[in-house]
């Protein structure tokens, strides 16, 4: 049992029996604070104090065990309740557990009490954990449905058999067809694609795997009214509640006007990229207003990360994505109070936990930003470490994107070399020693080698504010 005080509520009309229960637990090394009640009103009032566990006699003059269970289930479901009785038979014990009791112990076998309570507390902890996860999952589903139902894009979800599970209302505005027409006619989506584009689109729709990169393609459709419209289609793998790959989620954006305005796919993509860049610049400005240190840090990290990626010979497309992600990699700090970000002294444990959650917050901000780069995932992973000691998901090795490995090194070097409200700059030599000492342990060995070469052989310097 965990080394902490157990707050125990005993529903028992016999004080001696209550004392025996406590003595048995204390003999097993359990530290206890306890109170005893023997009436319905006393029990109701005691539940308001939220004890860790309830021990309840099955038969009291003013309250029977089944009534106590019903009150506990109604008022304090998360608190485990164990029946302790000298008269309960097996049939009644089963009935109690079906009604919500965690377990039961006979008074002439109190030696079982310690192990029963440990199991009850463990099960209660697991129930609370599942409940929190279920609430979070339900909130995520509700948010997804709210966004999807009100999006201007035509959003869909399929299973592994390509069967449509959801089509958003905007499908009617774009195609003329109701969502139910797509769901009831699985071939409709493919049939409305322009005949000249079907062969190009077919493998894209049928060969989606678990690659987290967004798949993007443009093609024409013929609407229900016979009009030709251009669609910008992007999709990602979808995952079930157990984390297993379950199909695809995709968005179809009507880009007809944009296509007509630009005339070429290259210009269309460039306009989309500019939109993303503008959004990111707004985000950078928002961060700078709240915390100039963070804003300057992001731009210097972006510059160093771009230089490392270039020296490593990565494709220009990836280099640009790394630079873009670097300029907003701490965007999640928008959700952290400014007084914590600029606090000159040591952070409390709670404050530090808020800071540590900024990669996840950044991911949530960016995950719906349409982009050809995995910006959200890079931001999500930039505090992960090669040995799995990073946060927030403890990813390690090849689980971490190369872009995020580069970001991690650039982030550490800049942070140590620069001034912070809570400490003076440690200097570039200390920063380079940190990544060199932990080469291949915390940081990717190839990325560290390139970073060291940039500073020690090629004269790279961090930009001034």
**What is residue 327's DSSP assignment?**
T
The top-scoring range by mean pLDDT among 125-129, 244-248, 276-280, 414-418 is 414-418
Q: Does the pLDDT of residue 419 top 80, yes or no?
A: no
Rounded mean pLDDT of 70-91? Answer: 79
- pLDDT average, residue stretch 80-106: 79
Residue 266: the pLDDT is 64
Q: CB under 8 Å to 169, separation ≥6 — which residues?
A: 149, 179
Q: How confident is the model at residue 249 (pLDDT cuts 50, 70, 90)?
A: confident
Inform me whether the pLDDT recorded for 274 exceeds 80.
no
**d(C-alpha 72, C-alpha 204), whole Å:** 55
| Predicted local confidence at residue 454, as pLDDT | 96
Average pLDDT over residues 180-203: 88
The answer to whether the beta carbons of residues 93 and 83 sit under 8 Å apart is yes
User: Residue 411 pLDDT more than 90?
Assistant: yes
pLDDT for residue 390: 95
Across residues 172-195, what is the average pLDDT?
89
Q: Is 80 exceeded by the pLDDT of residue 137?
A: no
Torsion over CA of 308, 463, 389 and 240, rounded to 10 degrees? -70
> What pLDDT does 209 receive?
60
pLDDT at 391: 93
pLDDT of residue 422: 59
**Tell me, what's the pLDDT at 379?**
95
pLDDT given at position 294: 62
Instruction: Return d(Cα 318, Cα 298) in angstroms, integer.
Output: 18
Query: Among 61-65, 85-89, 95-99, 162-166, whose mean pLDDT is lowest?
Result: 85-89
Strand 154-159, strand 81-85: pairing:
unpaired
In the predicted structure, residue 440 carries a pLDDT above the cut 90: yes
**95-133 pLDDT, tens per residue?**
788 878 888 888 888 888 888 888 888 888 888 787 777
Max mean pLDDT among 94-98, 203-207, 242-246, 393-397 falls in 393-397
Answer yes or no: is pLDDT of 436 > 70. Answer: yes
In the chain the domains, ranked by start, together with CATH numbers, are 6-132 (3.40.50.2300), 152-262 (3.30.450.20), 268-456 (1.10.3210.10)
How many residues can be counted in the chain?
A: 465
**How many Cβ atoms are within 10 Å of 260's Cβ, its own excluded?**
9
Where b means 16+ CB within 10 Å and e means fewer, 338-349 reads eebbeeeeeeee
Please say if the pLDDT value at position 32 is more than 70: yes
Pairing label, strands 154-159, 164-167: antiparallel
pLDDT for position 292 = 63
* pLDDT tier for residue 377 given thresholds of 50, 70 and 90: very high
SS3 32: strand
Q: What is the pLDDT of residues 279-327, one digit of tens each?
A: 666 666 766 666 666 667 888 999 999 999 999 999 998 999 999 899 8
pLDDT of residue 245: 80
What is the Cα–Cα distance from 309 to 301, expressed in whole angstroms? 12
- Per-residue pLDDT, 187: 86
Q: Does this model's pTM top 0.85?
A: no
Question: What pLDDT score does 210 carry?
Answer: 58
Token representation of residue 455: 């500073």
Which DSSP state fits 213? S
> Which segment of 197-211, 383-397, 398-412 scores lowest on mean pLDDT?
197-211
Instruction: Tell me the mean pLDDT in the region 241-264.
Output: 77
Q: What percent of the chain has pLDDT over 70?
A: 83
* Count of Cβ atoms closer than 10 Å to residue 137 Cβ: 11
Asked if 452 and 435 touch (Cβ cutoff 8 Å), the reply is yes
What does 382-402 look like in DSSP terms, one character per residue? TT--TTS--SSS---GGGS-H
State the chain's mean pLDDT as an integer. 83
pLDDT digit string, tens, across residues 336-366: 877 777 777 777 888 888 888 999 999 998 8
161: burial class by Cβ within 10 Å (0-12, 13-18, 19+)? exposed
So what's the pLDDT on residue 310? 96
Please give the residue that has the higher pLDDT: either 46 or 453.
453
Roughly what angle, to the nearest 10 degrees, separates helices 349-356 and 358-366? 30
Task: Output the pLDDT for position 378.
Answer: 96
Residue that the structure tokens 């020690």 belong to: 456
Q: What is the pLDDT of residue 424?
A: 65
Q: What is the pLDDT of residue 423?
A: 62
pLDDT over 90 (residue 93): no
**Angle CA 428–316–272, to nearest 5:** 110
Q: Between these two residues, 167 and 151, which has the higher pLDDT value?
A: 167
Rounded CA-CA distance 376/162 in Å is 26
Task: Answer yes or no: is pLDDT of 190 > 70.
Answer: yes
Q: In this predicted structure, what is the pLDDT of residue 263?
A: 59
Name the least confident of 52-66, 106-120, 257-271.
Answer: 257-271
141, pLDDT greater than 90? no
Cβ atoms within 10 A of the Cβ of 123, count?
13
């Amino acid at each position: 049992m965990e080394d902490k005080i157990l707050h125990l509520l005993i529903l028992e009309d016999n004080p001696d029996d209550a004392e025996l229960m406590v003595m048995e637990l204390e003999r097993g090394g359990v530290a206890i604070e306890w109170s005893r009640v023997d009436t319905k009103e006393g029990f109701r009032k005691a539940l308001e104090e939220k004890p860790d566990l309830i021990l309840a006699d099955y038969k009291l003059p003013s309250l029977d065990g089944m009534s106590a269970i019903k009150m506990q289930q109604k008022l304090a479901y998360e608190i485990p309740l164990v029946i302790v009785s000298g008269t309960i038979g097996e049939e009644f014990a089963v009935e109690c557990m079906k009604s919500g009791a965690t377990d039961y112990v006979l008074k002439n076998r109190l030696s079982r009490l310690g192990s029963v309570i440990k199991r009850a507390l463990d099960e209660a902890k697991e129930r609370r954990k599942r409940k929190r996860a279920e609430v979070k999952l339900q909130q995520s589903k509700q948010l997804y449905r709210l966004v999807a139902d009100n999006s201007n894009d035509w959003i869909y979800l399929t299973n592994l058999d390509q069967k449509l599970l959801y089509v958003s209302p905007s499908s009617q505005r774009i195609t003329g067809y109701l969502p139910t027409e797509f769901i009831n006619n699985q071939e409709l989506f493919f049939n409305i694609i322009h005949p000249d584009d079907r062969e190009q689109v077919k493998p894209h729709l049928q060969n989606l795997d678990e690659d987290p990169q967004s798949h993007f393609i443009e093609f024409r459709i013929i609407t229900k009214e016979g009009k030709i419209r251009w669609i910008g289609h992007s999709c990602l793998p979808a995952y079930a509640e157990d984390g297993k790959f379950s199909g695809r989620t995709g968005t179809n954006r009507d880009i007809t006007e944009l296509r007509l305005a630009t005339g070429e796919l290259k210009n269309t993509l460039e306009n989309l990229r500019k939109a993303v860049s503008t959004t990111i610049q707004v985000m950078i400005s928002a961060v700078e207003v709240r915390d100039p240190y963070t804003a300057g840090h992001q731009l210097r990290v972006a510059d160093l990360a771009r230089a490392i990626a270039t020296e490593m010979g990565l494709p220009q497309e990836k280099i640009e994505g790394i630079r873009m992600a670097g300029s907003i990699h701490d965007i999640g700090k928008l959700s952290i109070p400014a007084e914590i970000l600029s606090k000159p002294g040591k952070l409390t444990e709670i404050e530090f936990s808020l800071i540590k959650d900024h990669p996840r917050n950044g991911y949530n901000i960016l995950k719906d930003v349409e982009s050809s780069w995995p910006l959200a995932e890079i931001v999500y992973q930039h505090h992960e470490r090669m040995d799995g000691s990073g946060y927030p998901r403890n990813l390690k090795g090849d689980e971490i994107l190369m872009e995020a490995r580069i970001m991690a090194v650039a982030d550490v070097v800049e942070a140590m070399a620069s001034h912070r409200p809570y400490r003076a700059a440690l200097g570039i030599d200390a920063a380079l020693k940190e990544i060199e000492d932990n080469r291949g342990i915390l940081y990717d060995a190839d990325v560290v080698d390139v970073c060291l070469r940039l500073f020690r052989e090629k004269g790279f310097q961090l930009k001034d504010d």
